[in-house]
């Protein structure tokens, strides 16, 4: 068994925080080591506690989940933040993604799916609930521009791009393509450069949108 994943749960509703603690208690490999009622309190916790992942509600008083994602990206760039919410408005989803969230799930996600998502983002992956993926990709953009994104890629880069768009980590891509992980890392760096993406989250969403746009042609 691998190392236990240390979780910080951030939600303004105490009942929901307790519910998540209880749910994670039923799954091996997780430990909710701290809780917070809003983003500012979570940042205070992070100054004194080591955690592997943050689960944050999108809408909270004092400091919401989107601002927490933004602050964590600055102060704790290697710490993934997975946003959980009952809301599926485009501005909430797009705001979380733009801020650098490692994932976005609706709160009715099963504990099995949530645990799988947490493991994925801790490993460096990207997780977007399929029910809100369309909203995450709904930012303004033209179809021709989306197609041109793929036109600049080499055949190998395109293969890597498809797997990045699926949210796979470099290690998983390397295993799937039977390449060295360092080679995959170089291809991902090339994709970031060619597509002028600031980070892997934006890269994955850009590729996902371009690939799905192409499939409709």
Query: Are 45 and 8 in contact, with CB atoms under 8 Å apart?
Result: yes
CATH topology of domain 5-136: Rossmann fold (3.40.50)
73 vs 53, more confident: 53
pTM over 0.75: no
Per-domain residue ranges of the chain: 5-136, 143-215
From residue 213, alpha-carbon distances to 88, 178, 200, 210 in Å are 22, 28, 20, 5
Strand spans (E) along the chain = 5-10, 30-36, 53-57, 81-85, 103-106, 127-128
What pLDDT does 213 receive?
A: 66
- What would be the CATH architecture of the domain defined by 143-215? Orthogonal Bundle (1.10)
Say what the alpha-carbon torsion angle 146, 123, 43, 4 is, to the nearest 10 degrees.
160
pLDDT in tens, 131-175: 776 666 555 444 444 455 677 788 888 899 888 888 888 888 999
């Amino acid at each position: 068994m691998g190392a236990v994943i240390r979780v910080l749960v951030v939600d303004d509703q105490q009942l929901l925080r307790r519910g998540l603690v209880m749910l994670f208690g039923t799954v091996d490999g997780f430990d909710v080591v701290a809780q917070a009622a809003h983003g500012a309190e979570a940042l205070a916790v992070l100054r004194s506690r080591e955690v592997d992942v943050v689960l944050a509600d999108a809408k909270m008083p004092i400091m919401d989940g989107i601002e927490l994602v933004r602050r964590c990206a600055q102060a704790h760039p290697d710490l993934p933040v997975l946003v959980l919410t009952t809301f599926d408005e485009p501005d909430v989803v797009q705001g979380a993604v733009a801020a650098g969230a490692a994932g976005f799930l609706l709160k009715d996600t099963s504990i099995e799916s949530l645990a799988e998502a947490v493991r994925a983002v801790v490993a460096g992956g990207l997780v977007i609930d399929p029910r809100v993926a369309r909203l995450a990709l709904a930012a303004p953009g033209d179809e021709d521009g989306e197609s041109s994104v793929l036109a600049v890629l080499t055949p190998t880069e395109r293969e890597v791009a498809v797997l990045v768009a699926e949210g796979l980590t470099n290690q998983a891509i390397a295993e799937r393509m039977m390449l060295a992980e360092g080679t995959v890392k170089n291809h991902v760096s090339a994709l970031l450069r060619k597509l002028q993406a600031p980070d892997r989250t934006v890269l994955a969403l850009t590729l996902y949108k371009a690939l799905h746009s192409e499939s409709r042609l």
